[in-house]
A = this chain, B = another copy of it.
Amino acid sequence: MPRVIDEQERRERIAEAVWALVSREGLHGATVRAVAAECGLSTGAIQHSFRSQAALHRFAMELVIERASARIDAVGREGAGAGSGDGDVGACCADGDAAAEATLAAVEGVLLQLLPLDAEREVEARVWAAFSAAALADPVLAPLSRQMNRLIEGLCARCLAQLRAGNVLGPAADDPLAAPHLRALLDGLASGLLADPSPAARRQARALVHTHLESLRAEHGDADPST
């Protein structure tokens, strides 16, 4: 047998070149030739790994989901047991306020990871924005877009559940709309940050996530008592 190559790793390397190009120049910049140049291969090598450009783009989009999914699952696993990492919160709610603050801060940190607040997340968010825009006119990519939304909403739901378990939230958190609400907010913040990544905008986004969580805590009445 000749030159053995880790095909999966090769495919991911190519997909990462796609990411770089999409982030810099948009999806239309990720031509086969440009991708080949970006990762130091020939167009023939690209074609050996991917039947077509559409397959390449699809794989690159799926890889974004896969990586994000892995990160989110990791957060979920480590967040399920501990509040902020140095103390268990779920069971012992004896000294309320300190533990509550810790849980709140931990959740806030997790949610902030979904925003393009550093260089790496910004690339990821730009790439995702390009792909999800393309998905609007491409039935093959559209399901991936929805999958990502479900993924993030799931993370939001788990964060809210954790806050509820720590008795940090009022009854408002039981609202089944709380997770979609949080997801939409994060999505809109991310899109705004991509258009304006200034330090001021980043500060504002952080503050917004903070006050949103605080407002969930402050809320003690029913959401809609009139109807």
Question: Which A residues lie at the B interface, using CB under 8 A?
Answer: 24-26, 28-29, 101, 126, 129-130, 132-138, 142, 145-146, 149, 172, 175, 177, 180-181, 183-189, 191-192, 194-196, 204-205, 207-208, 210-212, 214-215, 218-219, 221, 223-224, 226
Tallying the copies of this chain within the complex gives 2
Instruction: Enumerate chain B residues within 8 angstroms of A211, measured Cβ to Cβ.
Output: 175, 177, 181, 223-224
User: Could you list 9 examples of A-B contacts with CB < 8 Å?
Assistant: A26-B138, A132-B191, A180-B204, A181-B185, A181-B212, A183-B192, A184-B192, A185-B185, A218-B221
Question: A61 to chain B: closest CB distance in Å?
Answer: 13
> How many Å lie between the Cα of A23 and that of B177 in the bound state?
29
Q: Kindly list chain B residues whose C-beta atoms are within 8 Å of the C-beta of A180.
A: 192, 204, 208
| Chain B residues whose C-beta falls within 8 Å of the C-beta of A205 in the assembled complex | 184
* Closest A-B pairs by Cβ, 9 of them: A184-B188, A187-B188, A188-B188, A133-B133, A26-B137, A145-B195, A184-B189, A218-B221, A211-B223
Check A183 against B177 for contact (C-beta < 8 Å).
Answer: no
Complex formed: what's the CA distance from A122 to B168 in Å?
Answer: 38
Partner of A223, one of B28, B146, B187, B215: B215
Cα–Cα, bound, A137→B195 (Å): 10
Are B133's CB and A196's CB within 8 A?
Answer: no
